[in-house]
């Protein structure tokens, strides 16, 4: 057994290839580590993430086996830690894909290789377009890769901070072109992740930067996540941004673990109810409807406006118009589209099929 560095240790077990014995030993190690350690009179609970990899073939494979064990260990960590994962070829494939994407993102951050698409937000009372959400796209040749394909990785690697800067700079340019052609009161929402909010630059950039002039028309979307509930710094940054005129929207509401006290303190303007609750209300029986209604109720109690996300079909639209929900967003109204299609006028290319 040896220490590789930092908080990483390696244990070499004799034996041939994969056996259930290595799993038993790893479980015993985890079990022992869970015993509380006393430090200055307080019990400290430790957990570990363990990756298992077998040495196959020649001695030159040492580097490879350590790399494989490392990949398995990271898989155990990202599954929540305090567990064991065995290396598999699939893990290696995913690591290669992730590392390629990471390099592609790094190049795109250096070269400004991102664009914004906009997805219309519709007022459910009269089906008019009242705003849009800005969604980042990675330019890959002629393809615009949607955010869902790279944002999670960018959050893990910290690259989201660089991407976020490009997003805000692009938004400043776009919004200057959009405002003159949009109806009064038109607003745009933009996603900011916890890592971006932790960037010490963000307040200066938003409060003193080019977007400040239209702060009133911008909602900053933050996810209803644990970070929001537990980090005082994030709360004070959001407060400063709100004082700078920006509005706050809670994104994906219904998927996190709400800290109602914090939500109230944040004074959001808008709750965006996650698509999963909309789908649940359509597909489940009474309980799905009750959950969606409860989420709307929380927003209403805090005197916030409510938006239903991911309204994909007419059936979804019917579900959300049965409740006191102000806005809808989703494929049923319009797909995310480049700036040019918005500049063609509100609702352009955007048949609001709702009746
Ligand atoms: P989100 O903020 O909840 O955005 C909605 C996502 O759902 C978008 O995916 C959108 O294209 C998709 N969507 C819209 N309508 C429908 C529908 O009717 N059905 C279904 N199934 N999906 C629909 P996208 O653009 O891939 O973005 C994924 C996530 O990435 C976003 O979820 C947001 O969390 C994040 N993201 C997007 N742009 C940015 C950004 O500029 N900065 C940061 N930090 N995160 C971003
Ligand atoms: Mg969003
Ligand atoms: Mg969302």
Domains of the chain in start order, with CATH, are: 2-87 (3.30.70.270), 112-344 (3.20.20.450)
At 330 the pLDDT is: 97
At 349 the pLDDT is: 43
DSSP string, 73-129: HHHHHHTTSSEEEE--HHHHHHHHHHHHHHHHHHHHHHHT-EEEEEEEEEETTT--E
Ligand 1: residues within 6 Å at CB? 119, 135-136, 146-148, 151, 160, 164, 167, 191-193, 221, 251-252, 275, 309-312, 330-331, 336
Backbone phi and psi for residue 335, each to the nearest 5 degrees, phi listed first: -90, 155
* Distance from the alpha carbon of residue 148 to the mean position of ligand 1, in angstroms: 6
Atom of ligand 1 nearest to the CA of 192: 44
CA distance 268 to 299: 9
**260: nearest Cα among 271, 246, 244, 276:** 271
User: Which bound ligand lies closest to the C-alpha atom of 329?
Assistant: 1
At 17 the pLDDT is: 58
* Distance from the alpha carbon of residue 273 to the mean position of ligand 3, in angstroms: 7
CA distance 37 to 15: 32
Atom of ligand 1 nearest to the CA of 223: 34
**266: nearest Cα among 299, 290, 293:** 299
At 113 the pLDDT is: 96
At 352 the pLDDT is: 45
- Tokens 């979307």 belong to residue: 221
CA distance 153 to 101: 8
Q: What is the pTM of this model?
A: 0.86
At 2 the pLDDT is: 95
Spell out where the chain has E strands.
2-5, 8-10, 37-39, 42-44, 49-52, 83-86, 114-123, 129-140, 143-146, 187-191, 218-223, 247-253, 270-273, 305-308, 327-328, 337-338
User: Which bound ligand lies closest to the C-alpha atom of 255?
Assistant: 3
At 230 the pLDDT is: 60
CA distance 136 to 159: 13
At 355 the pLDDT is: 35
Q: Which two tokens stand for residue 246?
A: 């920006």
* Distance from the alpha carbon of residue 133 to the mean position of ligand 2, in angstroms: 7
User: Which bound ligand lies closest to the C-alpha atom of 193?
Assistant: 1
CA distance 75 to 71: 6
pLDDT average per 10 residues of sequence, the chain (355 residues):
93 76 92 92 92 77 87 92 93 92 98 96 95 97 95 94 96 93 93 91 93 95 70 85 95 83 86 94 82 93 95 95 96 96 63 41
At 282 the pLDDT is: 84
Which residue owns the Cα nearest ligand 1 atom 41?
Answer: 136
**120: nearest Cα among 186, 175, 68:** 186
The H-assigned helical ranges of 244-285 are 260-266, 275-283
* Distance from the alpha carbon of residue 240 to the mean position of ligand 2, in angstroms: 21
CA distance 251 to 222: 6
């Amino acid at each position: 057994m040896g220490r590789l560095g930092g908080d990483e240790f390696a244990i070499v077990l004799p034996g041939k290839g994969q056996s259930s014995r290595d799993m038993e030993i790893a479980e015993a190690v985890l079990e022992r580590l869970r015993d509380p350690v006393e430090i200055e009179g307080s019990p400290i609970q430790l957990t570990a993430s363990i990756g298992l990899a077998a040495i196959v073939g020649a001695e030159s494979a040492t580097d490879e086996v350590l790399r494989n064990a490392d990949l398995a260990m990271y898989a155990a960590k990202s599954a929540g830690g305090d567990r064991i994962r065995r290396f598999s070829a699939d893990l290696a494939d995913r690591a290669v894909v992730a590392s390629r994407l990471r390099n592609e993102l790094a190049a795109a951050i250096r070269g400004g290789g991102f664009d914004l698409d906009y997805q219309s937000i519709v007022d459910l009372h009269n089906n008019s377009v009242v705003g849009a959400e800005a969604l980042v796209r990675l330019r890959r040749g002629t393809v615009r890769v949607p955010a869902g394909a790279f944002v999670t990785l960018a959050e893990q690697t910290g690259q989201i901070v660089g991407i976020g800067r490009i997003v805000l700079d692009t938004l400043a340019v776009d919004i200057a072109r959009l405002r003159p052609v949009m109806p009064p009161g038109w607003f745009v929402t933009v996603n900011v992740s916890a890592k971006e909010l932790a960037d010490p630059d963000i307040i200066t950039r938003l409060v003193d930067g080019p977007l400040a002039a239209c702060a009133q028309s911008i909602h900053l979307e933050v996810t209803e996540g644990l970070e929001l509930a537990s980090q005082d710094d994030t709360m004070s940054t959001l407060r400063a941004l709100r004082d700078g005129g920006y509005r706050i929207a809670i994104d994906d509401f219904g998927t996190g673990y709400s800290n109602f006290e914090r939500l109230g303190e944040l004074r959001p303007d808008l709750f965006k109810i996650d698509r999963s609750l909309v789908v649940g209300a359509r597909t489940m029986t009474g309980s799905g409807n009750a959950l969606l209604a409860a989420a709307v109720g929380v927003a209403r109690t805090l005197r916030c406006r409510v938006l239903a996300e991911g309204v994909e079909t007419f059936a979804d639209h019917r579900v959300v118009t049965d409740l006191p929900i102000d806005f809808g967003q989703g494929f049923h109204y319009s797909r995310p589209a480049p700036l040019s299609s918005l500049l063609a006028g509100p609702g352009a290319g955007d048949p609001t099929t709702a009746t």
